[in-house]
Structure 1
Amino acid sequence: MTTTAHTLEADGVRLYYEVRGEGPVLMVMGSPMAAADFGALAEAMAGEYTVVTHDPRGISGSVLADPEQDSTPELRAGDVVALLDAIGAETADVFGSSGGAVTGLALATLYPDRVRTLVAHEPPVLELLPDADEQRVMMDGIVETYQREGAMAAWQAFIEAFGTGGDDEEPPEEFPEKLLENSRRFFLHELRTTSGYVPDVAALRAGPARIVVGIGAESRPLMTYDTSTALSARLGVEPVEFPGEHVGFVDKTKEFAEVLRRVLRERVA
């Protein structure tokens, strides 16, 4: 499958994005996970869709004019609209995971006519939890850990806060330079704005976009299981189970893609 790489000048950022396949447009995105992290899923979906992946603003190949600008779900949603405009797509199906799911919620709220189906896979919308005040303090603590002890300690604190289903979730002993740069962006300019995002449930329910909330079959130990079930309850929809845990699209790509294709087809049926 041929992959073409592009850059786009958007609102204060030069976005890096990749396009694969042909057919209806499917945006696949994370935050802070970059295009490369979704390569396998994009390949699996490109037989039926034109799959667009990108590096979120300030991450990897997407360079900000102001490196100290915070990355908000609203700004990232605007970036997705700019990408749709660049490829000539009026609408798209959207798969967002984790912070990318929060971006998708902002997209469906601010630009509802651009989204056909949003699959929001495990969005960390901590403000929907009954102990949101405590979660906010915990996120502040993770940022402070980064400022005091650096990336490895902060990632360990992050993993402990959000939960883990196995021992393979330990952070690496050494980080390459790019991961260190991305970690700085995430902890100083993205973690709080993403986890603190409050979905406009009324707008999402009233809008034209179909909203699907995805939860990993093995994600029950994770905080994102709780946030996803809370969002599903607010929206009045049943969550859809996807294979694996929080990154099931990496660990169980084939099975994950099968479920995603089925979910997207249900809108057409």
Structure 2
Amino acid sequence: MTEPRYDRRGDGPVLLVVPGGAGHPMGLGPMTDVLAERFTVVTYDPLGLAHGRLGEPVADQRVEEWSDGACRVLEEVLDDGESAYVVGFSSGAIAALDLLARRPERLRHVVAHEPPCVGVLPDGARHRAMFREVYDTYRAAGPRAAAARLGAGLTGQEPGETVSDRPLSREEELADPMALFLAHVVRDFTSYAPDPAALATLSDRLTLAAGSDSRGQLLHRTAEFIAGRTGAGFAEFPGGHVGAGEHPVAFAERLVATLATRDAEGRARTA
């Protein structure tokens, strides 16, 4: 078992950030700059891609491995009696849901932004098949073609003509975080089924989130569905699926406000 990789900055309550994709925190720096003014921001890097491991062999990933690693990070950074906020994005949001369901002891509140665990939906089998097709397209035609298929699936469009591309060599794949996501993350994570009963018992510590630009799209619908099924909160954030990178300041401010609101609601319930 490798030691978990993470970066720590700022001061205040601990906020664990779990990136999406293959876990590389690229693009999240401007948002964490803002958050570090209020929190001790701990950015988890599940595969160590930003910590010298990009280019090294990668195995197929499992949700439970990411959430167990996140738990080890919290054990390292939290003092006795402390609890942490968590925000997860996409595949990282799935890991955050699993962390809350299995290891809730030191979690103060979890915000899961557009987790692609689409199997929960009434038509989930069709959408899981779409993600398997994304993987197959990647293996057959390369990352550009797979990204085009993924974009069509998330927005509800019919797949267009296959983008001209080529499969990557093993060396090229290992050097590309998006390719690692397509090769080793997308199948298992989008097949993950969250535990609604466990999450329902912890609904006061959970907010499902989706981008305002994602309304009508697959992952907005997924987040709303999980919130409704578990009794958790639901909040819209600026931008779309990658809103944290598109609108980092506004996204950070919305996250701060969401956590403050849920804290206030928790205090009111216990008063």
Deviation at 1:242, TM superposition (A): 1.1
Q: Which residue of 2 aligns with 1:71?
A: 61
1:20 aligns with 2:9: yes
Q: Deviations over 1:194-213 (max 9, x none)?
A: 11111111111213860011
TM (norm. structure 2) is 0.83
Q: CA deviation at 1:257?
A: 1.3
Q: 5+ unaligned residues in a row in structure 2: which ranges?
A: 158-162, 265-271
Q: State how many pairs are aligned.
A: 251
What is the SS of the residue equivalent to 1:43?
helix
CA distance in 2, matches of 1:256, 1:63: 29
Change beyond 3 A, Cα 1:105–1:67: same
TM-score (norm 1): 0.84
Matched ranges for 1:105-116 at <5 A: 105-116=97-108
Partner of 1:247: 242
Distance 1:179 1:261 in 2: 35
CA shift at 1:60, angstroms?
A: 4.4
Q: Which amino acid aligns with 2:99?
A: L
Cα distance in structure 2, aligned partners of 1:159 and 1:52: 30
Residue 52 (str. 1) matches residue 47 (str. 2): no
Aligned counterparts of 1:251 and 1:179: Cα–Cα separation in 2: 26
User: Which residue is 1:268 aligned to?
Assistant: 263
Q: Distance in 2 between matches of 1:238 and 1:15?
A: 30
Which of 200-209 and 127-136 deviates more?
200-209
Picking from 140, 143, 153, the partner of 1:148 is 140
User: How many Å apart are 1:78 and its aligned residue?
Assistant: 0.7
Q: Which residue of 2 aligns with 1:82?
A: 72
Distance 2:250 2:196 in 1: 30
Instruction: Tell me: CA distance 1:242–1:219, structure 2 relative to 1, closer, same or farther (3 Å).
Output: same
Counterpart in the other structure of 1:5 = none
Where do 1:1-269 residues align within 5 Å?
Answer: 11=1, 13-32=2-21, 33-57=23-47, 59-61=49-51, 63=53, 67-89=57-79, 90-163=82-155, 181-207=176-202, 210-269=205-264
Moved more, 240-249 or 17-26: 240-249
- For 1:55 and 1:116, the matched residues in 2 are separated by 21
Q: Is the 8 A contact 1:55 1:62 kept in 2?
A: no
